[in-house]
Amino acid sequence: MTTNPETPNPAYRSTSSLLSEDAASGSLDSTPHKRASQAELWARRMFLVTFVLLCTLLGVFLIVLPWRPEWVDNPLFFGHPLLKSLFANPFFRGICSGFGVLEIYSASINTKFAGVHVKQVYWLLAGIIITFLVSIIDYHLLLEKVHWAYIVSIFSLLAVYAVGVTALGAKRWIRLPGIGLFQPSEWVKLVIVVAVARYISSLSKSDMTWPDIIKAGLIVGVPFLLVVKQPDLGTSLTYLPVLIMGLFLGGIKLKHVAVVLLAGLLVIPAAWKFGMKPYQKERLVNFMHPENDPKGSGYQIQQSLIAVGSGGVWGKGVAKGSQTQGMFLPVTHTDFIIAAFAEEHGYVGATIVLLLYFVLLMRLIQNAQTAPDRAGTVIIMGVVAILVFHILVNVGMVVGFMPVTGIPLPLMSYGGSSVLFTFLALGIVMNIRMRRFVN
């Protein structure tokens, strides 16, 4: 879903030439611009530090909470009655969605995508309805029928090759009459989560054997390869965290982990040579040093870093971001929405968004601990794995920690398929949480 312009943005060249002319004429004062660059650098570093800190805290909780579940109920964390009622409220998740609609409106107001924020609201309303409908259906029924859903998902991925719509060099969507473009690879994530949960929960042994690992790998591997072929490397990679989480909860042994890692390292050279497109290789090579190709593969990351830094502490205001409104920053309403948000709402606004995600993930982890059975735990942790991967890759991409991919930011990025998947997943989590009180 991202763009990789082969030619530089005309506005980019004209701005550079204007700055050069001003500098040559002596109309630019070097001191203010030096201060501005220092402020941008400070804001960029603070955003990066905050992101890394929250990721570290989340990692610590993921490791410690299975042995200390009472920590979540501690008043120092989220155990205070007021905080508990606030964070447990489903409408709390709507805050992230509201920020997303606001930024989609701001980022698209002067583009050909103007008005898509209204469509996003419709998708969100549909997502809320679906969430409550799914929450009242016993998730055990989903586990029983998941094999049929898995078969349908495979056929839907195959249908993309036959009747799919090609856009941005990839065939990922199917046009549904009266609805629009639908991306099957998004909803397949949820099918994989439930399928892996059913398989892991069916294992009678506490430790996994090689046949168990291979079967779990095949459940994820078949749709993974179909999506890679579209090509959509970003979405296909979101399937792997589900497999990793399932194997971990299933009791994979350390020696098995070592062998799998070694096999993965041996496969990387072949995948690099035969499985990746040239533009994908360029993104992987240049994301750490975007300045090496500022008008090609490094263009998006450089513009993103400028946007994050220029927002400063408080931001420039809604629809006032120079990088966003000047269309220097690409696909601001989808992949780079957090960069646009940071420019217009500053370090403070971006930090609030990251904290909202952190709290949401913490509550999901607590729900996994209190799930009524093993299958419920695996389902919720599968959802957590996907959301964490989305957030890490998307935000990491914005700050130059990750290569540019088409992975949207959950609840904020524009896109009906992504919105419906997220709300469907949260609806199943609500379902599992409610079943704690059913005998």
116 within a domain of the structure (yes/no): yes
- State how far the Cα of 361 lies from the Cα of 62, in Å rounded to an integer: 10
Domain range enclosing 382:
36-64+82-136+294-439
Which amino acid would we find at residue 47?
A: F
pLDDT tens, residue by residue, 325-367 = 888 888 888 889 998 999 999 888 888 888 888 888 888 888 8
Residues 93 and 153 in one domain: no
Q: Give the pLDDT of residue 34.
A: 38
State CA 21 to chain mean position distance. Answer: 41
What predicted TM-score, i.e. pTM, was given to this entire model? 0.83
Residues 330 and 211 in one domain: no
Q: Give the pLDDT of residue 41.
A: 65
Residues 323 and 364 in one domain: yes
Residues 129 and 163 in one domain: no
pLDDT along the chain (439 residues), means of 10: 38 35 37 46 68 71 56 51 51 79 88 86 90 88 93 92 77 79 87 95 83 94 91 88 91 89 87 76 73 76 84 84 82 88 89 86 84 91 93 86 84 88 91 76
Residues 396 and 425 in one domain: yes
CA distances from 278 to 14, 19, 154, 156, 159 (A): 29, 33, 27, 27, 26
Q: Give the pLDDT of residue 146.
A: 93
Residues 309 and 430 in one domain: yes
Q: What are the phi and psi torsion angles at 174 (to 5°)?
A: -120, 130
Which of 333, 341, 379, 387 has the alpha carbon at shortest distance from 360?
387
Last residue of a domain, one of 276, 307, 340: 276
3-state class (DSSP) for residue 107: helix
74 within a domain of the structure (yes/no): no
Residues 161 and 234 in one domain: yes
CA distances from 287 to 3, 262, 280, 396, 409 (A): 15, 25, 11, 11, 19
pLDDT tens, residue by residue, 398-407 = 887 888 887 8
Last residue of a domain, one of 245, 276, 307: 276
Q: Give the pLDDT of residue 191.
A: 95
Residues 388 and 250 in one domain: no
Which amino acid would we find at residue 45?
A: R
Residues 298 and 437 in one domain: yes
Q: Give the pLDDT of residue 66.
A: 53
382-386: list long-range contacts, CB under 8 Å, 24+ apart: 382/192, 382/193, 382/196, 382/197, 382/242, 382/245, 382/246, 383/193, 383/425, 383/426, 383/428, 383/429, 384/245, 385/241, 385/242, 385/244, 385/245, 386/189, 386/193, 386/238, 386/241, 386/242, 386/425
Residues 356 and 224 in one domain: no
Residues 41 and 123 in one domain: yes
20 within a domain of the structure (yes/no): no
370 within a domain of the structure (yes/no): yes
Number of domains comprising the chain: 2
Element (H, E) at 175: strand 170-176
- State how far the Cα of 168 lies from the Cα of 181, in Å rounded to an integer: 14
Strands 165-167 and 170-176: antiparallel
193 within a domain of the structure (yes/no): yes
Q: Helices (H) and strands (E) in the chain — how many of each?
A: 17, 3
- State how far the Cα of 322 lies from the Cα of 18, in Å rounded to an integer: 15
Last residue of a domain, one of 224, 249, 276: 276
259 within a domain of the structure (yes/no): yes
Residues 161 and 228 in one domain: yes
